Amino acid sequence: MAKPVIMTVDDDPGVSRAVARDLRRRYAGTYRIVRAESGAQALEALRELKLRGDDAAVLVADHRMPGMTGVEFLEQAMDVYPYARRVLLTAYADTEAAIRAINVVDLDHYLLKPWNPPEEKFYPVIDAQLDAWRRTPRRESAELRVVGHRWSARSYEVRDFLARNQVSYTWLLDTAPEGAELARAAGDPELPLVVTADGTALSAPTDAELAAAVGLPTAPAAEFYDLIVVGGGPAGLGAAVYGASEGLRTVLVERHASGGQAGQSSRIENYLGFPDGVSGAQLADRARRQAERFGAELITTAEAAGLEARGRARVVRQAGGAEISAHAVILATGVSYRRLDVPGLDALVGVGVYYGAAMAEIPGCRGEEVYVVGGANSAGQAAVNLSRYARCVHLVARADGLERSMSHYLIRQIAEIPNIQVHTRTVVGAAHGSAHLEGLTLKGPLGERRADAQRLFVFIGAEPRTDWLDGVVERDPRGFVLTGPDLVAGGRRPADWTADRQPYHLETSLPGVFAAGDVRAASMKRVASAVGDGAMAVALVHRYLEQA
């Protein structure tokens, strides 16, 4: 195999040669040193390396470069090599910019110039980054190819699964020459066809088969844990990080992909500590890697179907019949978008109609008119992201305005984007199309009208995924899990409560089972509060275990 790459980027030829010289002196035997003199040149080189199947270990970029700063280069390089370690070279006067870059590009280190002698100031930094890169589990599938129909619900689901699990792939239409050739070579199987890097062909794979093919864990390594976290959104990931970091043997089970609804957000701009915003996918990926670094197990395509108490153990039963047991459980299953109940819509889900951001579909919206239904932050973030691709984005909201349900900063952004049109007091009355979405009936202040549309993204409120908890823990009339004070309101106690104490703040009606995040009744429905719930739930798990 080719040597992994260490890349240095600096617009000053003298500095560029000096950095490359020092790197070659120490690392040329094991790593290939690549030098570039601009961010654009470096990005082109990285893309060529990626196409050849080479890996990049460390990227060292100068901050002050014309055309593209080092921070801007590193941010774009994350899309090509997300696991490469990122080091910023900066002068003393630019240390504030370097500190900001820690949030923008998940910067691993910044180095002040000059770095002489390299044995003291340069090599120890690069050694540490290379060691961290070698220890980071990487599950990229750069050569993974997906062949399918443009308007196929299952093809969309496969691409969505891969995208949300941070797995690289190439999408090929079955009508394109390369796609048709791959399908013929595989014996014209049922589509979608997934071809792995080693040439294995999967015909219409299930999510579990797909996960196994790309190296995602689908089964726990043990039968008993200290803590089971059900759900991989911000609350679940927060619980996994704090549980594992505080010594609990922790397993997180997730039915689709880590990040939950927040993981699909194109940009979260009001999360503490990220002044320039962060994408939901980046935030979820960082949290996942952090949890795994502390020793938490993350299991994908594991759908919880039942929960019960067996003595002191709490048992989670999966849809396939497998069981995992633990001393305690944290329910962090979040919510799903409520279905839009209009004629003709259900038959078009996945073929023009999408619930949530549907990140895999967004590049295909280039030059089109698209519709977004909803008035909260998730709908606004999707509209802003889609505006970068679509000719026009129509944001359809039932309310008189966006102020009641959307953050002020987002309303202001939308108002400044010329190709977003906001339609208030408007609803979708019907969807039209046979093989895919072709049009919508809109009902607004001026009456009813027909609009041509090939894509509709729906964000209309939330429903908890708690049917599997029937008869096990108490829920409110809408299905949200009751915890702590809500269980003992008015001086009552939960009907099946067995402990000789009041429930802890996030504890459900089953002792040892806690709820965190959006699934909890009366929660704030924000990323920051969900993460806080996850951390608090772990603290209460410790209190529960100490008194057990």
Two tokens at 386? 């889609």
CA 354, CA 359: separation in Å to the nearest integer? 10
The one-digit pLDDT tens for each residue of the chain (548 residues) are 579 999 999 999 998 999 999 999 999 999 999 999 999 999 999 988 876 778 899 999 998 888 888 888 988 888 778 889 999 888 765 666 666 666 556 778 888 877 888 898 899 999 999 998 988 766 544 578 999 998 999 999 999 999 888 888 889 999 988 888 888 888 889 999 999 887 889 999 999 999 999 889 999 999 999 999 999 999 999 999 999 999 999 999 999 888 887 777 777 888 888 777 777 888 888 899 999 999 999 999 999 999 999 999 999 999 989 999 999 999 999 998 889 999 999 999 999 999 988 888 888 899 999 999 999 999 999 999 999 999 999 999 999 999 999 999 999 999 999 999 999 999 999 999 999 999 999 999 989 999 999 999 999 977 898 999 999 999 999 999 999 989 987 677 777 787 888 999 999 999 999 999 999 998 988 899 999 999 999 999 999 999 87
Q: Where are the domains of the chain?
A: 5-135, 145-206, 224-336+463-547, 346-458
CATH number for 224-336+463-547: choose from 3.30.460.10, 3.50.50.60, 1.10.150.300, 3.10.20.600: 3.50.50.60
Write the CA distances from 129 to 78, 98, 454, integer angstroms: 16, 17, 46
At residue 176, what are phi and psi to the nearest 5 degrees? Answer: -80, 150
What pTM did the predictor assign?
A: 0.75
Indicate if 224-336+463-547 has the same CATH topology as 145-206: no
At residue 43, what are phi and psi to the nearest 5 degrees? Answer: -65, -40
Q: Around 38, how many Cα atoms within 13 Å sit in the side-chain half-sphere?
A: 6
Cβ atoms of 300 and 322 within 8 Å: the answer is no
CA 252, CA 96: separation in Å to the nearest integer? 37
**Residues counted in the chain:** 548
Q: How many CB atoms lie within 10 A of CB 348?
A: 21
**Architecture of the structural domain at 5-135:** 3-Layer(aba) Sandwich (3.40)
Say if strands 456-458 and 109-112 run parallel, antiparallel, or are unpaired.
unpaired
Tokens 């009366």 found at: 522
CA 513, CA 327: separation in Å to the nearest integer? 9
Tell how far CA 240 is from the center of its chain: 15
CATH number for 145-206: choose from 3.40.50.720, 3.30.479.30, 3.60.20.30, 3.40.30.10: 3.40.30.10
Angle at 298 between CA 296 and CA 300, to 5 degrees: 175
Cβ atoms of 265 and 279 within 8 Å: the answer is yes
CA 157, CA 210: separation in Å to the nearest integer? 11
